[in-house]
Amino acid sequence: MFKLGLGQRSRRVLTATAAIALAATLAVNNVQAGSHSGPMKGGTLTVGVETDSRGFDAVKGGVLGISAGTVSLAIHDTLLKYNEKTKEFEPNLATAWEASEDNKSWTVTLRQGVKFHDGSDFTAKDVADHFNRILDPANKSRSRSFITAITGVEVVDDHTVKFNLAHPWLPLLGNLAAPSMIGLIPSSANVAAAKQNREPIGTGPFIFDSWAGGDRITIKRNPNYWKKDAAHLDEIVFRILPDTQARFASLRSGEIDLIWTDRGSSIVDAQKDPKLVTVVRDGKGAAITFINASKPPLDDARVRQALSHAWNQTAILKVTWKDTRPFAEHPLGTDSTCDAGYRHYDPAKAKALLADYGKPVKISMIHTTTPRGREFGEIYQQLLKQVGIELELVPVDQNTLVKKVFTNDYMISGWRIGDADDVGPQTFALSYSESSYNLSRLKMPEMDKVAFAMRTAADPAVREKFHCDLMRMVNDQGNMQYRGGNRYYAFHGTNTHDIGIDGLGVVRVSGAWKDK
């Protein structure tokens, strides 16, 4: 049972317990990282993941989640790498990149001699075909709305491509480095043969081997990988274990080597276990709730604003996340100084807004059938009951939830703004009226103007200001609520090494190795 009516806290401050746990985690990681002289070759890594993949094709598979992204990142490469320490982009499949004088095109030089897993050459055609296919409106790729500033990609020669832009667009390089459906480059021949979704081919350190739906995905080390000695394991097996407790128990028993989880109780328990190593990453973005502004009575701003004041983010952080996530007033990250005018928990304000609206409010919310989804629904239901709103809970599986949100068959639903070096492409797509990713369906000319100014700004400081202005408008309109900032956790045994977490929370396993 949980208690409501908890006070607010600053998004920039961790509880003392959380801060101590985080410091201890980092200390443990440092000890583990420094206690071995070098990687050992061979062996199998078994990874417990929460959900099966919808596929690995940028059109048919949709947007990668953390589980599928972890698999895909081991199979594919990105054009660039982002170095979080230096805050610079580094070569990967691309070796050089240069902008035109007007910043409306970028010429990218590709690495020569790289082979796909089937032995075919990696060329400019693969890059151009990949991006142009996502950009083609007829294909209805769920990734398209994030990169529509790109008008097309041209093949200059076998190892040179040109990205043409509608206007200067600062996030381009970040998208070329993103561990997502956008950034991970597949074999265009495999895509054309309609095999990429179920039998992916990339240039990465591991080769797809088999996929038993609902059970496991197996990948094998690529002996011809262009980065010599980058992969150490013989194979990686991704076991699909939807039940959080079963997944955690399998890790503790040694049946599996690594898990990703966002369940607060499991995170707290794992951090106390001396036999487990914690990998943690703070990121931008946030867990969010969509309020569908196209569905009465949610099309009235007063009702949406009342929901914002009825929502108690601190309650969900304490009950579900066990204070393992930061408080979020916007998705720009804990380092941002943006004052986004967050509507804090205030039942009295919620009741006043509803009184002004003057009609009974009865709404519904879809949520996943997972323990996390049910808990979120029950907390939201009780919070809204306190201010006089009746909320019907509709449990659905994860794939159904995604489909309902994309087809506008919902009133309220949980969602996520994924971690990225730059969340601007996501916040633009979520806010701009004509975007197919405007899933809350709020359409306002004033918001469009600010969103477009943020998107096209060539100066980072100017862009940051417009970005904050956009988030202030979102908070004012109440079409999105925050359920905590992004902080990602992975856990593994002390015999496993070199596990990392990339953008979007994707776990990096391709360089992992195990003690014999």
Q: DSSP states of 63-79 as a string?
A: S--HHHHHHHHHH-B-S
Contact yes or no for 298/238 (Cβ under 8 A):
no
Q: What is the DSSP letter of 122?
A: P
Residue 452 φ then ψ, to 5°: -70, -35
The residues pairing with 219 across neighbouring beta strands, listed in sequence order, are 208, 236
What's the angle, vertex CA 197, arms to CA 196 and CA 201, rounded to 5? 30
List, by residue range, all CATH 3.40.190.10 domains of the chain.
17-49+204-281+488-514
How far, in Å, CA of 104 to CA of 167, rounded? 5
* pLDDT for 420: 85
Cα-based torsion angle of the residue sequence 390, 394, 399, 402 in order, rounded to the nearest 10 degrees: -20
Q: What is the residue-wise DSSP string for 157-221?
A: ETTEEEEEESS--TTHHHHHT-SSTTTSBPPHHHHHTT-TTTS---SSSEEEEEEETTTEEEEEE
Report the amino acid identity of residue 137: P
Q: How many CA atoms lie within 13 A of 168 on its CB side?
A: 14
For residue 93, give the nearest of 70, 113, 73 by alpha carbon: 113
C-alpha dihedral sign at 203, 208, 213, 214: negative
Cis peptide bond upstream of 179, omega within 30: no
Q: At what angle do helices 424-431 and 460-477 cross, to 10 degrees?
A: 40
CATH of domain 76-192: 3.90.76.10
- pLDDT < 50 positions in the chain: 1-35
* pLDDT for 63: 57
- Does an H or E element contain 16, and which? helix 16-34
**pLDDT (tens digit, 9 = 90+) per residue, 184-223?**
999 999 999 999 999 999 999 999 999 999 999 999 999 9
C-alpha dihedral sign at 393, 394, 397, 403: negative
Phi-psi region of 140 (alpha: psi -120 to 50; beta: other; left: phi over 0): left
How far, in Å, CA of 154 to CA of 131, rounded? 10
Contact yes or no for 44/236 (Cβ under 8 A):
yes
How far, in Å, CA of 447 to CA of 403, rounded? 26
* pLDDT for 15: 35
Contact yes or no for 492/280 (Cβ under 8 A):
no
CATH of domain 17-49+204-281+488-514: 3.40.190.10
List, by residue range, all CATH 3.90.76.10 domains of the chain.
76-192
How far, in Å, CA of 402 to CA of 414, rounded? 10
CATH of domain 283-486: 3.10.105.10
* pTM, to two decimals: 0.86
* pLDDT for 64: 63
Q: Who's near 376: CB < 8 A, 6+ residues apart? A: 316, 320, 367, 414, 483
* pLDDT for 176: 97
- Cα–Cα distances (Å) from 343 to 231, 346, 471, 475, in that order, read 48, 8, 12, 7
* pLDDT for 61: 77
List helix spans (H) across 311-432: 313-319, 347-357, 371-386, 398-406, 424-431
Contact yes or no for 289/405 (Cβ under 8 A):
no
Q: How far is CA 205 from the centre of its chain?
A: 22
Long-range contacts of 457-464 (CB under 8 A, 24+ apart): 457/168, 457/170, 458/103, 458/168, 458/170, 460/170, 463/170, 463/424, 464/338
**pLDDT (tens digit, 9 = 90+) per residue, 115-126?**
999 999 999 999
Instruction: Specify the 3-state DSSP secondary structure of 498.
Output: coil
Q: Who's near 229: CB < 8 A, 6+ residues apart? A: none
Q: Provide the pairing of β-strand 500-501 with 390-396.
A: unpaired
Instruction: Specify the 3-state DSSP secondary structure of 237.
Output: strand
* pLDDT for 93: 98
